[in-house]
Structure 1
Amino acid sequence: MILLMAFVTFFVMQQKSVQRTFMFPYEYQEIVQVCCKENNVDEFLVAAVIKSESNFKNNAVSTPGAVGLMQLMPSTAEWIASEMHDNDYSKERLETPEINIYYGSWYLSRLLRDFHGNKILALAAYNAGHGNVEEWMEQYGWDYDFSDISAIPFRETEMYVRGVLRNEKKYIELYGKRE
């Protein structure tokens, strides 16, 4: 009986509808798609970042003070607003899904440009900071073709990058292929 229950549970968990509902939700999908199109960044990568950062909990706040779905630090968001010439920045606005996803997708797009399209470096910078990744590149002789995730010196950042890339793959599988 236990073996049968284990088999049924395994079978149910493999169903895409179950995975979409319980394991890999994609709330705010329309907002993500609009922001990603405007900021020229892949929607499944952004969904994966949101999953890793907040698990789609809009009111998430980290211990260091990162806010919202994409867990932006208020100081980073203020810089993003300045770069975007958005004079209406406020921490309260950052808490809204539309602004948080817009700023976060813009920032991720910027990191991808800064690191020549290298997702690993961009995601590491999203987690550990742009300056840390630049230091690692210089210290360890990494170039823009860097691919050895296990070489990332911060274990938390290494695990973060692995998790986001794993989530991205799952979002592509569950919600559609790229054009």
Structure 2
Amino acid sequence: MVMRKRRRFSWLRLIIFSLILILSIVIVAFHSFSWIVKAIYPTHYIDIVEKYAEVYNIDPYLVLSIIKNESKFNPEAVSRKDARGLMQIAPITGQWASEKLPIESYSQDMLFDPELNIQIGCWYLSILNNQFASNFELVVAAYNAGNGNVSRWLSNPEYSADGKNLDNIPFGETRIYQQRVLRDYERYKRIYE
């Protein structure tokens, strides 16, 4: 009889201990989840992003999504096409921006400066935003493929039925890029708003 009580008692202790352990793990995981999500969707350079997003009337979450996809927040990133910095500004775009903004003593290496890179990126996004009537799908596609390509696609019934929206993006890289940026944009909004 005493043996049965001990066994029952030890099983009961084991079950209680297991439940407490599982509950503790769930609580820690729940509290860590927020930290993990924010690590996957960081807000590095947020002060600079918010500054220029406001100046150029661009959603800062769109800017963060583009930076995440273009450079993974690496200010020294260089693409195989020589685009540079956080927002992967092409040297020719940097030169054009330096004349329009104006930026004194411009050189391509200045594109590695996070503040200047984000300023130029937001400036360029504002141009695309105006050109494509604030249609984020078109703006993001144009940021990747160029506004000339997107304009041509809109005028081609093979890619656009109404001339205002793209039904199909012929560049696979741009199609995937657009999907990822827009997905990340929605996630940034959900996490930080």
Relative to structure 1, the CA distance from residue 166 to residue 61 in structure 2 (aligned partners, 3 Å threshold; closer, same or farther) is same
Q: In structure 1, what is the Cα distance between the partners aligned to 2:31 and 2:164?
A: 36
Q: In structure 2, what residue type is equivalent to 1:168?
A: Y
| Greater relative contact order, per chain length (Cα 8 Å cut-off, separation 6+) | 1
Runs of 4+ in 1 over 6 A off after TM superposition: none
Counterpart mapping for 1:122-133 below 5 A: 122-133=139-150
2:153 and 2:166 in contact (8 A); partners too: no
Q: CA deviation at 1:95?
A: 0.9
| Structure 1 position 74 matched with structure 2 position 70 | no
Greater mean deviation of Cα atoms: 78-87 or 24-33: 78-87
Q: Which residue of 2 aligns with 1:17?
A: 35
Relative to structure 1, the CA distance from residue 15 to residue 68 in structure 2 (aligned partners, 3 Å threshold; closer, same or farther) is same
Q: In structure 1, what is the Cα distance between the partners aligned to 2:109 and 2:141?
A: 27
Q: Which residue of 2 aligns with 1:146?
A: 165
Q: What's the RMSD between the two structures over aligned residues?
A: 2.1
Kindly provide the CA deviation profile for residues 61-95 of structure 1, in whole angstroms up to 9, marking residues without a partner as x.
01110000000111111112222233332212111
TM-score, length-scaled by structure 2: 0.79
2:58 and 2:125 in contact (8 A); partners too: yes
Q: In structure 2, what is the Cα distance between the partners aligned to 1:95 and 1:139?
A: 37
Q: In structure 1, what is the Cα distance between the partners aligned to 2:32 and 2:176?
A: 24
Runs of 5+ consecutive residues of structure 2 not aligned to the other structure: 1-21
2:155 and 2:163 in contact (8 A); partners too: no
Q: In structure 2, what is the Cα distance between the partners aligned to 1:13 and 1:119?
A: 33
1:13 and 1:19 in contact (8 A); partners too: no
Q: CA deviation at 1:153?
A: 0.8
Q: In structure 2, what is the Cα distance between the partners aligned to 1:14 and 1:166?
A: 23
Q: CA deviation at 1:147?
A: 5.3
Q: Which residue of 2 aligns with 1:165?
A: 182
Greater mean deviation of Cα atoms: 138-147 or 64-73: 138-147
Name the % identity. 39
Greater mean deviation of Cα atoms: 40-49 or 74-83: 74-83
| Structure 1 position 31 matched with structure 2 position 53 | no
Relative to structure 1, the CA distance from residue 144 to residue 109 in structure 2 (aligned partners, 3 Å threshold; closer, same or farther) is farther
1:116 and 1:144 in contact (8 A); partners too: no
Q: CA deviation at 1:128?
A: 0.6
Q: In structure 2, what residue type is equivalent to 1:42?
A: D
Q: CA deviation at 1:26?
A: 1.2
TM-score, length-scaled by structure 1: 0.85
Q: Which residue of 1 aligns with 2:12?
A: none
Q: In structure 2, what is the Cα distance between the partners aligned to 1:123 and 1:88?
A: 30
